[in-house]
Structure 1
Amino acid sequence: MSCGSWCDWVASILKIPMTNLIPIHDAHRIDQLRGELRIEPGLLRRLRIAFFKKGATADDALAQLPEGVRERFAERVAFHPLRLDHRADSQQDGASKLIFKTDADYLIESVILRPGTGRTALCVSSQVGCAAACDFCATGKMGMAHSLPAAAILDQLVQANQLLAAEDRRVRNLVFMGMGEPLHNEENIYEVLAALANPQLFHHSMNRVLVSTVGIPDAMIRLARRFPQVNIALSLHAVRQQAREQIVPLARKHPVDQLRATIQQLNTLQGRPVMLEHLMLAGVNDSLDEARELAAWCEGLLVHVNLIPYNPIAGAPHLIGTPPAERKAFAQVLKDAGVTTTTRYSMGQDIEAACGQLVQQGNREVAKRAAAARA
């Protein structure tokens, strides 16, 4: 019997809710359980190395423990709060979309990216849906937002590494650019980052973690203070206030002048560039005048501008991506002004796994059924 089936069976027989099991990433409580079960510290260390660092399955990780305590440990611990529902592999560029189901039957998406550099990346989701409701984003048009617990966010990485182990790969770069606004799930994100940095668990370099946000100034500063090595990306998209409000509704609450002051603080706290994401939308934010305004806005800031092609979504037929030649001209204005600029390309378009395309419409029906059950 696999660990997932074993844990489900034990929970049902003993009437233990899965939520009462100890998440495998909870180092303190797992250490307490080790003492209670009298497991040698070295054996637990081997289990953690296998599970968190080598992409081992839960069963293989449990095999590091003596047979007498293996089942007792497994019946108390939650290894996988997510179930892999299905997987889609791009035929164009090697991206893989992993669609997971939560214990409440919501679907979330993660995307494995295998660029030519060999630096495998994973784009993780932090919420089911997103309240930011950006005009270009399919996730934001789902009309709902539920924050994921830390264990569910981390499990996306665990299961991705288990799949990649067969390819002799491992996730190198972790980006919080999937479904949801990470800083609307702030405390769970902090728990995730602490687990990632913990040498007993993932021991993942914070320099290879990027948290992307639509721009929540106070939370951005708190993040930088608690985890100064984490890279921060701001979905800016326009420095003209009216244009940004059209693209990002939250801009009405946090104007561009406030965001610029926030970046200045981040530069002082971190001493590293803040990534500025600029989605190229024809007739909205892609004129050469706007390029010059963006360059002037960046003056005196430590930033790196990423120009991103628009990936069409059904919910925004009025948006059109900027043609490549015009993206190149926009980029040249920034480069001539001394602004570090990269023109990005999208991966996973053929499986709707590119930036802005992640959506699971069936979640609306799950939310309706849950609301009806509570009524």
Structure 2
Amino acid sequence: KHGQSDSDALAELPTESRDAFADQVDLHALQLHSRSDSQQDGASKLLFRTRAGMLIESVILRIATGRTTLCVSSQIGCAAACDFCATGKMGIAQNLSPAEILDQVVQARQALAAEGRKLRNLVFMGMGEPFHNEENLYATLEALIAPELFHHPPSRILVSTVGLPEAMLRAARRFPAVHLALSLHSANQQTREQIIPLARRYPLDELRRALAELNRTQPANTPVMIEYLMLAGVNDSPDAARELAAWVDGLRVHINLIPFNPIEDAPHLTGSGRETREAFAADLKAAGLKTTIRYSLGADVAAACGQLVRKENRRTAMASAESLSKSEV
């Protein structure tokens, strides 16, 4: 809860019990593989190794205002397979346990406490589609907000999804104060299907009905975050801005425009230029919509770490499959 180091936490136990406890209880579900600190801004990427040998990543963001945010992963890989996402290109999708998700928070809190900082915001925007790991997500949220455990305010937790309508509604009913974010990226059905395969299963009209229901379910101060990745020549035209404004009209939302960091598995995609992003935002604001432009942190450490995660996990998954195949012969 307080971000104590392992040694400080053990010091809370009676002296005669510490060694036995440390020998018999594994304090962490994850092993810290590496930490990369940005030389450009206040971002730190943490790579963890699971007991199965896979790598996952978390990112600590230190905003200039002094606020801190942790971006956590809920899966290894992702079945959503969005065209712009490195995680979806891994070709695997495995759920993380509540202990593995929570240990990302524990170790990030410890890292921040060593700097005299506290974790403020927690976002499920790392590897994986959280609602494809729904049961473990809910167990994690319960632990995070429990006063006797992490005691993290639910209003400072955000769960991002590619758009599973029924799961979003279930989450809102169970955790009404937890914020939800929809990775929309286009208000045009055909365009959205091109970059998000799951859009074929969950069309835009169904998503919009779900958002309207979310607005009725959640508190008035809990808008749905609309995430919109700006892709040059794909979804950044004035017409695309008008389509987006029309689609969210009447909904309680906050639009977040996101710059695209290129990935090696999608060379056909490039990010919109700064002027295009700002013009797009101006069109939305002129339509009366709350809009912000996110400025990417940690770009200098993201590419190398993401490449390492993909390559290591592919190799581990192939070795595991080969071993299983041999055992069945």
Rounded Cα–Cα distance in structure 2 between residues aligned with 1:233 and 1:56: 31
1:132 aligns with 2:93: no
AA aligned opposite 1:96: S
> Once the 2 structures are TM-superposed, how far is the Cα of residue 58 of structure 1 from its aligned partner?
2.3
Q: Please give the residue correspondences for 1:1-375 in structure 2 after superposition, counting only pairs within 5 Å.
A: 52-53=1-2, 55-271=3-219, 272-352=222-302, 359-375=309-325
Report the Cα distance in structure 2 between the residues aligned to 1:119 and 1:69, rounded to whole angstroms: 38
RMSD value, Cα: 1.5
Q: Displacement, 1:293?
A: 1.2
Paired residue type of 1:270: Q
Letter in 1 for 2:320: A
Does the CA contact (< 8 Å) of 1:109 and 1:124 recur in 2?
Answer: yes
Deviations 1:173-207 (A, max 9, x none): 00100011111111111111101111111100011
SS at match of 1:361: helix
CA-CA distance at 1:128 after TM superposition: 0.7
Q: State, as a whole percentage, how many aligned pairs show the same letter.
A: 63
Taking structure 1 as reference, are residues 164 and 353 closer, same or farther at Cα in structure 2, changes over 3 Å only? farther
Deviation at 1:63, TM superposition (A): 1.3
Q: Matched residue of 2:185: which SS?
A: coil
CA contact (8 A) 2:232 2:270 kept: yes
**Counterpart amino acid of residue 60 in structure 2:** I
CA distance in 1, matches of 2:309, 2:273: 25
Deviation at 1:73, TM superposition (A): 3.9
Structure 1 or 2, whichever has the larger Rg, is 1
Quick check: 2:81–2:196 contact (8 Å CA) kept in 1? yes
Query: For 1:211 and 1:361, how far apart are their aligned partners in 2?
Result: 27
SS in 1 for 2:310: coil
Structure 1 residue matching 2:227: 3-state secondary structure: strand
One-letter code aligned to 2:323: A
> How big is the shift at 1:222?
0.7
Cα deviation, 1:246-296, whole Å, max 9, x if unaligned, reads 111100000011000010111111032100001111111111011011111
Given that 1:138 and 1:358 are in contact with CA atoms closer than 8 Å, whether structure 2 keeps it comes out as no
SS of the residue 1:297 aligns to: helix
CA deviation after TM superposition for structure 1 residue 360, in Å: 2.8
Deviations 1:209-268 (A, max 9, x none): 000000011111111111111000000000110000011110000001100001011111
Q: Provide the C-alpha distance between the structure 2 equivalents of 1:252 and 1:116, rounded to a whole number of angstroms.
A: 40
Distance 1:358 1:292 in 2: 39
Output one character per residue of 1:64-110: Cα deviation in whole Å (capped at 9) or x when no partner. 11123334444553320100011111100121000000001100000
Shift in alpha-carbon separation, 1:166–1:58, aligned structure 2, 3 A:
closer
What secondary structure, in the 3-state scheme, does the structure 2 residue paired with 1:306 have? strand
- Which whole-Å CA distance do the structure 2 matches of 1:155 and 1:143 have between them? 25
TM-score, reference length from structure 1 = 0.83
Q: CA offsets per residue over residues 309-339 of structure 1, 9 Å max, x none?
A: 1111111111111111111111111111111
Q: Secondary structure at the match of 1:346?
A: coil
How many pairs were matched up?
A: 322
CA distance in structure 1 between the partners assigned to 2:321 and 2:28 by the alignment: 26
Contact 2:263 2:303 in 1 (8 A): no
Q: Equivalents in 2 of 1:114, 1:252: separation in Å?
A: 37
Q: Is the alpha carbon distance of 1:114 and 1:280 closer, same or farther for their aligned partners in structure 2, counting shifts above 3 Å?
A: same
Contact persistence 1:95–1:347 (CA under 8 A): yes
Structure 2: distance between partners of 1:316 and 1:310? 11
Using the alignment, how far apart are the partners of 2:138 and 2:25 within structure 1?
Answer: 22
Contact 1:138-1:359 within 8 A present in 2 as well: no
Letter of the aligned partner of 1:374 in structure 2? L
